[in-house]
Amino acid sequence: MSDSSPPASARISPSQAERIAEACRLIADAERPPRLDDLAATLGLSPWHFHRLFKAVTGLTPHAYARARQAERLRIGLRSSASVTDALHEAGYSSSSRFYEQGDAVLGMTPTAWRAGGAEVDIRFALGECALGAILVAESARGICAILLGDDAEALLRELQELFPQAELVGDDAAFAARVARVIGFIEQPAIGLDLPLDIRGTVFQQRVWAALRAIPSGSTCSYSELAERLGMPRASRAVASACAANKLAVAIPCHRVIRQDGSLSGYRWGLARKQALLDAERGPQAT
DNA sequence: GGTTCTCTGCCGC
DNA sequence: GCGGCAGAGAACC
């Protein structure tokens, strides 16, 4: 339920970051999720220290990272495999029955529904007005799946349709509209936190970047290259920027806190004026 | 339902 | 900065 406690961004040395990047590669290359002890031994660290370091760098535990990677392989496999069972096995799931036991935790829906492009899955949405202009909040069964900002409601709705082309979009839900008020309150006062579950969908790399974004404290900023370094990929600042741009959860995943090294704002999916306003608000009264 | 593994808090060097 | 333990809980078989 709580999304309000991203990992503290401890100082990570380049050599530590490189070790964790190596661990990420090992996990990504393995058919089955490697064991914590084995990963730690390969990197020459104790399991406990490796675990802490991994989480500090990526924002995910090694196990969570491995599962995310496995889910990504499944998503790719579902597009190309002849059957859902084949895709499950190719992704390293030991048995399909256990996969189904877990319900829709991996894909947010059944594999067959996912294969169909997410058809028949409801996404509730509501439009509103906040200090930054029009806002659209959308929610799947798993949590808030999009927070979009813009100048007019129709454009936001089109954007939502493009993000979830096969989903059944359901508006005018009074109960949900009440929750949107909480999101708007959070947009206008980020310091209060957003105590709603988030449905964060993206590749493993995007999820790593987004976890790192959530570790940037309110009121401070970071450059794309700094963020890339924190992820152990000092040359990947362009990829990091793309992942920031792919963020669908405005403010909840604070991509507005990433600016150019020279201090200029760089770009923002929802407009530079909004980026500036968000940063101003965070540096404002609640700053300690 | 037992076993194994992960995760976290805390402490020591 | 790193290693280690204890205990809770999740995952696995």
Catalytic residue list contains A255: yes
> pTM of the prediction?
0.65
Query: What is the spatial distance between Cα A32 and Cα A80, in angstroms, rounded to a whole number?
Result: 20
User: CA of A106 and C1' of C11: distance in angstroms?
Assistant: 15
Across all strands, nucleotide nearest A93 (CA–C1') = C12
What are the per-10-residue average pLDDT scores of chain A (288 residues)? 39 75 84 86 89 83 84 79 80 75 67 66 85 89 86 91 84 76 80 73 81 82 87 81 92 91 86 91 64
Closest residue by C-alpha to C1' distance, nucleotide C12: A98
Q: What is the distance between the terminal CA atoms of chain A, rounded to a whole angstrom?
A: 26
> CA at A242, C1' at B10: how many angstroms apart?
40
Q: Coil, helix or strand for A106? A: coil
Amino acid at A177: A
| DSSP codes of every residue in A146-198 | EEEEES-HHHHHHHHHHHSTTSEEE---HHHHHHHHHHHHHHH-GGG---S-B
Pairing of strands A122-130, A133-140: antiparallel
In this complex, the nucleotide whose C1' atom is nearest to the CA atom of residue A67 is: C11
Give the closest nucleotide to A15 (alpha carbon vs C1').
Answer: C1
Residue A124 CA to residue A114 CA, distance in Å, equals 18
The residues close to strand C, meaning Cβ under 7 A, are: A 10-11, 13, 16, 44-46, 48-50, 53, 94-95, 98
